[in-house]
């Protein structure tokens, strides 16, 4: 029922509009009052506007389809604009007739009592209709319904002007009715111009005031966003539609970039709840970060699966000597791997023209799945010896874990040691290398060992 409430209000507004047009037309003809007849014309176009509103509300709520991928929300803005244009035409017609009558010396008007009753009833009805339309329009963010409410308020002011004109006629001022009609034309014209201007702004995609600044500030606060390259917003009926281009680290994975876009959209909805935002994620080049640029060149190349141990050596003459390790599928022939390596070298030189020497150490990718068996419990003595070796290192506080795996009758060891949390990452890596060397030397039956240090 709540979903149909706006539509029912619009239908009720149309029904009331029909009754008011007929009543004003009859009374205007009987009294000869230009003010009342102008109000009848005004109400007739108001009735057309209310029909526009009803059609717009029904259409705007339709979901997006292949021909209207952004939905049908603009229908409401179009209805509001058409309503403004119709009212401008009405105001011009009323003003023309009023001036013609004033130039001709006025005309006979019968200020009958029933005319005052009709106009007083119109004030009450239109005020009530304006309140209901405004309340429901704000509730559903309907521009068409809010425009209809604005017209109803203009009707109230215009009707009060007509009442003043009839009172003037009763006092013997025959020109008062035409002056009242001019006042009605001015009120209607002002309301129509404002309505057409606001809705026209939306139709030409003017961004809502202050919304872009709000959104820009929110997106800047998202971790990983280095730069907001462009941001556009427009209104479509009750909703906002926008697109944003943001820049982040060039080496962000596709999955991470998608996650960043989702985070930006969620953050945007916290400041603009009705926003449908499309986010484009791009890489930002940082000239000073040479290692990142090397990784970006490798990513563009595509043949290398994993690039690591990148070292940049700056020579005395300013040139660069680059060394790195590159992993490729193990089933490639040396000729194929060498071709990929040369292609990577060309990509890096394109990115870094000052690189005069590039040495790429080729490595095969490890198998996706390695068969093995946990033999830590079975080789408990070996694990205990390994713990002793690890804890003999002066920087190790304690050995947290030792796991032994048997792969094709060879022992692979995985060790976790605890060290002080204030050591540098570089020193931590040195400790790991020293532990691995100590274990290989003291326990030669271990084929391979991987150590990891963690903060206490």
pLDDT of residue 23: 75
pLDDT of amino acid 397? 94
Strands of the sheet containing 373-374, edge to edge, are 373-374, 398-407, 410-419, 446-455
Residue 108 pLDDT > 60, yes or no? Answer: no
pLDDT mean over 43-52: 66
Lowest mean pLDDT among 17-21, 184-188, 312-316: 17-21
CATH architecture of 373-455: 2-Layer Sandwich (3.30)
Domain boundaries, the chain: 5-203, 211-284, 290-364, 373-455
Encode pLDDT of 319-373 as tens digits.
899 999 999 888 889 898 999 999 999 989 988 898 999 999 998 887 767 788 9
Report the distance separating Cα 162 and Cα 345, nearest Å.
86
The answer to pTM > 0.75 is no
Helix, strand counts (H, E) of the chain: 12, 10
CATH code of domain 5-203 = 1.20.1510.10
Q: Percentage of residues in the chain with pLDDT exceeding 90?
A: 27
Res. 1 pLDDT band, cuts 50 70 90: very low
CB 374 within 8 A of CB 337: no
Position 275 scores a pLDDT of: 83
Confidence band, pLDDT 50/70/90 cuts, at residue 452: very high
Q: Which of 254, 348, 255, 338 is nearest to 298 (CA)?
A: 348
**Between residues 7 and 80, the one the model is more confident about:** 80
Phi then psi for residue 242, to 5 deg, are -150, 170
SS3 assignment, position 115: helix
Which has the minimum average pLDDT: 15-29, 122-136, 153-167, 198-212?
198-212
213-225 mean pLDDT:
89
Percent of the chain with pLDDT over 70: 75
Give the pLDDT confidence of 124-183 residue by residue, as tens digits.
887 887 788 788 777 766 666 676 677 777 777 777 777 777 777 777 676 776 777 777
Task: Average the pLDDT over 426-436 and give the result.
Answer: 93
Structure tokens at 14: 């149309």
> pLDDT at position 418, please?
95
> Can you give the pLDDT at residue 360?
92
Average pLDDT (305-318) is: 87
Q: Is the dihedral of CA 48, 52, 186, 149 positive or negative?
A: positive
pLDDT at 450 over 90: yes
CA of residue 188 relative to chain centroid, distance? 37
Are the beta carbons of 210 and 267 closer than 8 angstroms? no
Q: Mean pLDDT score of the chain, rounded to an integer? A: 79
Question: Out of 148-162, 223-237, 264-278, which region has the weakest mean confidence (pLDDT)?
Answer: 148-162
Structure tokens at 209: 């005031």
Q: Does 298 or 390 have the greater pLDDT score?
A: 390
| Same fold: 5-203 with 290-364 | no
State whether residue 94 is helix, strand or coil.
Answer: helix
- What pLDDT was estimated at residue 123? 81
Please tell me the least confidently modeled range out of 120-129, 196-205, 220-229, 412-421: 196-205
Residue 94 has pLDDT above 80, yes or no: no
How many CB atoms neighbour CB 276 within 10 A?
17
* pLDDT value at 449 more than 90: yes
pLDDT of residue 414: 95
Kindly state the tokens that stand for 152.
Answer: 């109803």
Decide if domain 290-364 falls under CATH 3.30.70.1350. Answer: yes
Superfamily of domain 211-284: Cation efflux protein, cytoplasmic domain (3.30.70.1350)
CA distances from 97 to 14, 185, 191 (A): 27, 10, 20
At residue 20, what are phi and psi to the nearest 5 degrees? -65, -40
User: How is the chain split among helix, strand and coil, in percent rounded to 5?
Assistant: 55, 20, 25
Q: Which residues contact 353 (CB under 8 A, 6 or more apart)?
A: none
Q: Angle CA(327)–CA(329)–CA(332) in degrees, nearest 5?
A: 115
- Of 228-237, 257-266, 339-348, the range with the lowest mean pLDDT is 228-237
Structure token pair of residue 424: 């540098």
Which pLDDT value is given to residue 2? 37
Q: For 419, phi and psi rounded to 5 degrees? A: -130, 175
66 has pLDDT over 90: no
Q: Is 228 in a helix, a strand, or coil?
A: strand
């Amino acid at each position: 029922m709540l979903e149909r409430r706006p539509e029912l209000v619009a239908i009720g507004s149309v029904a009331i509009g029909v009754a008011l047009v007929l009543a004003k037309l009859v009374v205007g003809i009987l009294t000869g009052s230009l003010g009342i007849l102008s109000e009848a014309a005004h109400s007739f176009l108001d009735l057309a506007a209310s029909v526009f509103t009803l059609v717009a509300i029904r259409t705007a709520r339709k979901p997006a389809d292949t021909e209207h991928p952004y939905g049908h929300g603009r229908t409401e803005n179009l209805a509001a604009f058409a309503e403004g244009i119709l009212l401008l035409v009405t105001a011009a017609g009323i003003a023309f007739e009023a001036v013609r009558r004033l130039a001709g010396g006025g005309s006979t008007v019968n200020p009958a009592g029933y005319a005052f009753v009709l106009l007083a009833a119109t004030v009450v009805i239109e005020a009530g209709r304006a309140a209901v339309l405004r309340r429901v329009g704000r509730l559903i963010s309907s521009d068409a319904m809010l425009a209809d409410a604005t017209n109803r308020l203009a009707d109230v002011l215009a009707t009060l002007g007509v009442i003043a004109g009839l009172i003037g006629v009763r006092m013997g001022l025959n020109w008062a009715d035409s002056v009242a009609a001019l006042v009605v034309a001015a009120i209607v014209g002002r309301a129509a111009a404002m309505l057409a201007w606001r809705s026209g702004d939306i139709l030409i995609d003017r961004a809502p005031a202050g919304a872009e600044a709000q959104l820009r500030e929110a997106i800047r606060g998202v971790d990983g966003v280095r730069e907001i390259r462009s941001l556009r917003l427009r209104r479509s009926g009750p909703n906002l539609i926008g697109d944003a281009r943001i820049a982040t680290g060039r080496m962000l994975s596709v999955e991470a970039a998608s996650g960043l876009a989702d985070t930006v959209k969620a953050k945007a909805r916290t400041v603009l709840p009705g926003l449908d935002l499309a986010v484009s994620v791009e890489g930002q080049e940082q000239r000073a970060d040479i290692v990142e640029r090397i990784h970006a060149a490798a990513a563009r190349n595509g043949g290398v699966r994993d690039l690591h141990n990148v070292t940049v050596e700056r020579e005395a003459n300013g040139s660069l000597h680059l060394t790195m390790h590159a992993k490729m599928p193990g089933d490639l022939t040396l000729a194929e791997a060498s071709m990929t390596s040369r292609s990577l070298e060309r990509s890096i030189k394109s990115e870094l023209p000052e690189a005069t020497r590039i040495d790429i150490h080729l490595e095969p990718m490890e198998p996706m799945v390695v068969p093995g068996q946990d033999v830590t419990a079975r080789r408990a003595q070996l694990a205990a010896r390994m713990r002793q070796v690890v804890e003999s290192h002066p920087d190790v506080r304690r050995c947290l874990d030792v796991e032994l795996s048997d792969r094709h009758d060879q022992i692979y060891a995985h060790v976790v040691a605890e060290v002080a949390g204030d050591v540098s990452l570089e020193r931590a890596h040195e400790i790991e290398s020293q532990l691995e060397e100590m274990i290989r030397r003291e326990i030669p039956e271990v084929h391979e060992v991987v150590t990891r240090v963690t903060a206490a």
